[in-house]
Amino acid sequence: MISAGEFRNGVTIEYEGNIYQIIEFQHVKPGKGAAFVRTKLKNIKNGGVVEKTFRPTEKCETAHIDRKDMQYLYNDGDLYNFMDNETYEQIAINKEVIGDSLKFVKENETCKIVSYKDQVFAVEAPLFVELLITECEPGVKGDTATGATKPCTVETGATLNVPLFVNQGDTIKIDTRTGEYLSRV
């Protein structure tokens, strides 16, 4: 249990049946009345942000979020299969849980499986990946001072915009959080 007076950024709590991470907190002592703690909470499961106020003595249950490295094996329809590299135990995760988080991840890459009380609710891809471009139109010579881009498809099937000088067959580095091109490899 943690009291609202002990809140810090990054702490995860269980409140009203949901799991929240504290993004921002502020201890407020008005001239009249009792002090309170104003917080911004991010729902870990759906990503929504809410603002709540707590009395400093109010207590919440701390939530222990487990992050485990697992190897992405393959996709089998609506199920994505992962393997624990230490115990070789395999688990299958439903497509709804994964969402778009694996669109830049190849098979056999290591991902973080995020769970609470042994219930998986998210998969975190590696921050940066290197992928081969499978489809890309040739760049058109001309005015490139504006930082012109063109759409390309990578080996996982995802599309992104890349600079004109990148060609089919090149290997590029991608930031998986934003889906942006970083550099050629």
**Number of domains composing the chain:** 3
Amino acid of residue 169: G
Helices (H), the chain: 95-98
Q: Residue 116's pLDDT is what?
A: 84
User: Of 31, 62, 93, at which residue does a domain stop?
Assistant: 62
Q: What is the CATH number of the domain that holds 40?
A: 2.30.30.30
**Torsion-angle region of residue 95: left (phi > 0), alpha (psi -120 to 50) or beta?**
alpha
Q: Determine the Cα–Cα distance for residues 108 and 92; give it in Å rounded to an integer.
A: 15
For residues 87 and 114, membership in a common domain is answered with yes
Look up the domain containing 82 and give its range. 65-124
- To which residue do tokens 């969402």 refer? 99
CA 97 to chain centre: 12
Regarding whether 136 and 112 lie in a shared domain, the answer is no
Q: Tell me the helix, strand and coil percentages in the chain, rounded to 5.
A: 5, 55, 40
CATH number of the domain bearing residue 110: 2.40.50.140
Residue 173 has a pLDDT of 92
Clarify whether residues 52 and 72 are in a common domain: no
Per-residue pLDDT in tens (0 to 9) along the chain, 185 residues: 888 888 988 888 988 888 888 999 999 898 888 899 999 998 887 778 999 999 988 999 998 888 899 999 988 888 889 999 889 899 988 888 887 888 888 888 899 988 888 888 888 888 898 999 999 888 766 655 667 888 899 988 889 988 888 888 889 999 888 888 888 88
pTM for the full predicted model: 0.71
- Say if residue 8 is in the same domain as residue 55: yes
Structure-token pair, residue 52:
């709540």
